[in-house]
């Protein structure tokens, strides 16, 4: 949408997918990427999370991929087609939700209420472990899962990437409460909603988009697991000028097909693993149960499957 900022009409997103990481945001983003009435030149610009921040304040591991400058950000949307809606999907905007909310309100002003905002949440233990496995897969993590959760380790690593705070990234209640107070129009999904046949139509309708379009919802995107073919994973993750050009030049459906193919190949290079049930129980009780119960009140939604089924293993 066009926003008057200091006397200039600038393009800002009509749709924001805020997070959380490893919860299904990639699926929601690529549903929209395939839609002919959506313009989303890239994923994860992180603008509202880091706008006007000194680059030294951005974790070093993601620093070169985040956009902090308003002109650079709005120039990215200059080629938007007539009648298209602009979408931004950046999980940093959920992780740094306070900065995100402040920047949205400052830039959109009275038009904040017109912004379509979405969040998708996953069972917090599963999200934490999946984020850990993604870092292992990408050769960013070499510690055992429980060892990587030590507070002193987390504090040291947060300067590199906020994603190293596997537990903190899965504490939702305070973030959701703050976001819904400032952006009451926000739609909150949980990962299991992606399995509902009617979800796509609901999502497109909530975005004010037509639903009579062909969108692939079956591909499993951005898989996590332990690496068994590191060379393949490195090759798939390697960035080069050709990949950068293709991301900009290819239409949404073609880009989706390439991303789906990459994810399919990635699955061949990883081994799916499950979290030990004892560790699952310990983490749920120690870190997440009270947060989930608070989230249930905020969303007025039964989330007991995330904690009620936790039982001590039989001897």
Q: How far is CA 265 from CA 77, 151, 250, 270, 311, in A?
A: 31, 35, 20, 9, 36
Per-residue model confidence (pLDDT) at position 274: 82
Q: Are strands 15-19 and 85-89 parallel, antiparallel or unpaired?
A: parallel
Per-residue model confidence (pLDDT) at position 314: 44
The rounded distance, in Å, linking the Cα atoms of 16 and 2 is 15
What is the rounded radius of gyration, in angstroms, for the C-alpha atoms of the chain? 19
Per-residue model confidence (pLDDT) at position 315: 38
Q: Are strands 15-19 and 116-121 parallel, antiparallel or unpaired?
A: parallel
Identify the CA nearest to 33 among candidates 11, 21, 15, 50: 15
Q: Contact, 97 vs 25, CB < 8 A?
A: no
Pick out the chain residues at pLDDT < 70: 219-271, 309-315
Burial (0-12, 13-18, 19+ Cβ within 10 Å), 64? exposed
SS3 call for 189:
strand
Q: Which helix (H) or strand (E) holds 12?
A: none
Identify the CA nearest to 1 among candidates 94, 115, 170, 168: 115
Per-residue model confidence (pLDDT) at position 118: 97
């Amino acid at each position: 949408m066009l926003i008057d900022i200091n006397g200039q009409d600038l393009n800002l997103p009509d749709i924001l997918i805020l997070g959380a990481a490893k919860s299904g945001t990639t699926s929601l983003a690529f549903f929209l990427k395939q839609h002919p009435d959506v313009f989303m030149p890239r994923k994860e610009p992180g603008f509202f999370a880091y706008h006007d921040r000194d680059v030294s304040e951005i974790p070093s591991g993601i620093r070169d991929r985040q956009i902090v400058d308003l002109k650079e950000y709005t120039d990215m949307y200059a080629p938007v087609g007539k009648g298209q809606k602009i979408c931004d999907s950046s999980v940093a905007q959920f992780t740094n939700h306070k900065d995100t909310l402040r920047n949205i309100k400052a830039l959109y002003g009275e038009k904040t209420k017109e912004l379509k905002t979405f969040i998708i949440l996953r069972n917090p233990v599963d999200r934490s472990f999946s984020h850990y496995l993604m870092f292992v897969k990408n050769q960013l993590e070499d510690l055992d899962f429980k060892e990587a959760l030590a507070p002193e380790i987390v504090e040291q690593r947060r300067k590199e990437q906020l994603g190293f705070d596997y537990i903190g990234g899965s504490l939702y209640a305070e973030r959701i409460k703050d976001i819904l107070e400032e952006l009451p129009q926000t739609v909150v999904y949980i990962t299991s909603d992606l399995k509902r046949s009617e979800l796509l139509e609901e999502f497109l309708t909530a975005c004010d988009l037509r639903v009579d379009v062909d969108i692939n919802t079956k591909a499993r995107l951005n898989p996590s697991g332990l690496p068994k073919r590191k060379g393949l994973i490195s090759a798939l993750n390697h960035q080069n000028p050709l990949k950068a050009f293709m991301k900009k030049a290819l239409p949404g459906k073609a880009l989706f097909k390439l991303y789906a193919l990459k994810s399919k190949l990635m699955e061949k290079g990883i081994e799916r693993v499950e979290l030990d049930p004892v560790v699952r129980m310990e983490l749920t009780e120690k870190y997440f149960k009270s947060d989930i119960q608070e989230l249930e009140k905020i969303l007025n939604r039964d989330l007991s499957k995330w904690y009620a089924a936790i039982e001590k293993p039989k001897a």
